[in-house]
Structure 1
């Protein structure tokens, strides 16, 4: 039987992503189902939107990859989409195994994932591609003010602004996961951007949509706007090929005029991707065309500029007799 279903892992609250995948799947075929996983699908709004949802063990479980593999085989899944940082390395390491079974995990190569998960290595990656990154200080020779953050953190968890030496604690200085870097003032001087980059199976850039982060809530954009600016030109010039990249890559930058600092790279869909999709960046349709129909994707730059997204909370009701 043809493997033509799509499995989105750790779906959580990503209702829009599921809906958009279903829209694109329906336009290309009447035989593609969108499945999801979560620790507790009954309490995941996105899982209730999917065609079917499955409970899986924690990502930390030694049998997690085997469980996903067996689930994909049983449900005729041909494409797997990761959504959270903590699952990326395991999935990247297992990608070849899944490919041999005709199941495409849309994930970058293990080396690139390792680099993206370590902000110290990410800074070196930016430098390799000619993009400046905030200086990372030797903890024995700090300059103030500075910014402290875990080298493997996400969603701004564990970050701290350090105004002076008096703000430092013994625990912070001795924590091996904390790095100290140049402080970039995004309130008064710099503007924060996220860029959704689409890379084909040969790691060639096919689309780049910069999104200005107008407002952020719990580390995820709640108000944003697409911007065709000098950051866009930088992506085209510097990141036209990103070794090992595959699918949607989300990169974060601080910008002020011609000054641009690369902050981090996440090799997965970001929470603000629905804005990119609404602007015309059809990454979901392109994935289906690439991995299910073996089509080449042309470079696309006709996305809508200055499109504003204003997100709001909505609800999914689960009735007692729903299974």
Structure 2
């Protein structure tokens, strides 16, 4: 049922140039169940999400943390923002910090993301892997030592092949490097802040997870990553299997997740390997919405104290999403 226009809520989606933000903005604008006014922010005036929202703002760099937090507070207070949906890992770590969060929420806006300690446990890949190991969740073979200086090489004792090198903190797979033979292994030069794992070549899944404000699991939508470019899903298919849903529920409980998160895992030889857990929306969230479960909208409703109905948590299986380029023309 559509609510009266006097109940319109203002939602700020940050880092509007990234894939997850664009997807969230599009889905919140597309829905007709609930009256929302979508604001967005980004450092780049040509960021596509800015021009999909109702109103946008140019933000300062996150490197200037104090200024960035002050900017967010002022933006939210002046425009009477109700909810903030951060889109990038680095942004989540800044905004969810208890001190920063307390400043921003004095504006009257509510920050919709996991608590700071939970966010760190997810975003820091070494921490998330160790948390899985401690709880008997299968992970790829992982070299325990973080690279502490540039120019290091892969340890001779490592006999995995292929090997994947990735940053401890990072998203989108842009900096990942795959080593496929002994020659590449000898030539590989590792940089500070990176680590390496056994590369698991199998069927890749992303699982969108929805939990309530008390970290109670509500739903999981597994989707096969049929085609991935730069770490983002271009083609995907809903795979509604009890095994994947149960797996996601277990991970959600172990990490005490709230709101929306996306889990990545790989299936090989009938085993599921934990790859990473993002305490935020994934770029492929549009497939979840298309299948019937509008997680961005339910996220906002729950923040208002409105629990999802059983029907709102249902979705269609085997739906395929395929993406294409779409242009926006602006004067900047």
- TM-score (structure 2 length as normaliser): 0.85
> Is residue 85 of structure 1 aligned with residue 89 of structure 2?
yes
Within 5 A, what are the aligned runs for 1:22-101? 22-24=29-31, 26-29=32-35, 32-41=36-45, 43-62=46-65, 63-93=67-97, 94-101=100-107
Per the alignment, residue 4 of structure 1 pairs with 9
Per the alignment, residue 172 of structure 1 pairs with 189
Q: 1:107 aligns with which of 113, 117, 123?
A: 113
Query: What count of residue pairs does the alignment treat as equivalent?
Result: 309
Q: Distance in 2 between matches of 1:289 and 1:221?
A: 27
Secondary structure of 2:253's partner? coil
Q: Distance in 2 between matches of 1:223 and 1:201?
A: 31
Per the alignment, residue 221 of structure 2 pairs with 209
Q: Distance in 1 between matches of 2:135 and 2:290?
A: 29
Within 5 A, what are the aligned runs for 1:232-243? 232-236=245-249, 238-239=250-251, 241-243=253-255
Per the alignment, residue 161 of structure 1 pairs with 178
Deviations 1:106-158 (CA, angstroms, capped at 9, x unpaired): 11111121122221111122234442111212554312312221111221122
Q: Is the 8 A contact 1:151 1:178 kept in 2?
A: yes
Q: Is the 8 A contact 1:144 1:162 kept in 2?
A: no
Q: Distance in 1 between matches of 2:186 and 2:115?
A: 38
Per the alignment, residue 132 of structure 1 pairs with 138
CA 1:157 to 1:45, structure 2 compared with 1: closer, same or farther past 3 Å? closer
Task: Please report how far the alpha carbon of residue 305 of structure 1 lies from its aligned counterpart in structure 2 after TM superposition.
Answer: 0.5
Instruction: For structure 1, list consecutive stretches of 5 or more residues without a partner in the other structure.
Output: none
Q: Distance in 1 between matches of 2:160 and 2:321?
A: 36
What is the aligned-residue RMSD (CA, Å)? 2.4
CA 1:239 to 1:184, structure 2 compared with 1: closer, same or farther past 3 Å? closer
Q: Distance in 1 between matches of 2:185 and 2:269?
A: 32
- TM-score (structure 1 length as normaliser): 0.87
> Is residue 17 of structure 1 aligned with residue 53 of structure 2?
no
Q: Is the 8 A contact 2:200 2:268 kept in 1?
A: no
CA 1:244 to 1:97, structure 2 compared with 1: closer, same or farther past 3 Å? farther
Task: Please report how far the alpha carbon of residue 242 of structure 1 lies from its aligned counterpart in structure 2 after TM superposition.
Answer: 4.6
CA 1:3 to 1:101, structure 2 compared with 1: closer, same or farther past 3 Å? farther
CA 1:243 to 1:116, structure 2 compared with 1: closer, same or farther past 3 Å? closer
Instruction: For structure 2, list consecutive stretches of 5 or more residues without a partner in the other structure.
Output: 1-5, 145-153
Q: Distance in 2 between matches of 1:244 and 1:306?
A: 29
Q: Is the 8 A contact 1:172 1:178 kept in 2?
A: no
CA 1:107 to 1:232, structure 2 compared with 1: closer, same or farther past 3 Å? same
Q: Distance in 2 between matches of 1:121 and 1:55?
A: 33
Q: 2:307 aligns with which of 274, 282, 296?
A: 296
Per the alignment, residue 160 of structure 2 pairs with 144
Q: Distance in 1 between matches of 2:82 and 2:131?
A: 31
Task: Please report how far the alpha carbon of residue 301 of structure 1 lies from its aligned counterpart in structure 2 after TM superposition.
Answer: 5.0
Range that drifts further, 219-228 or 116-125: 116-125
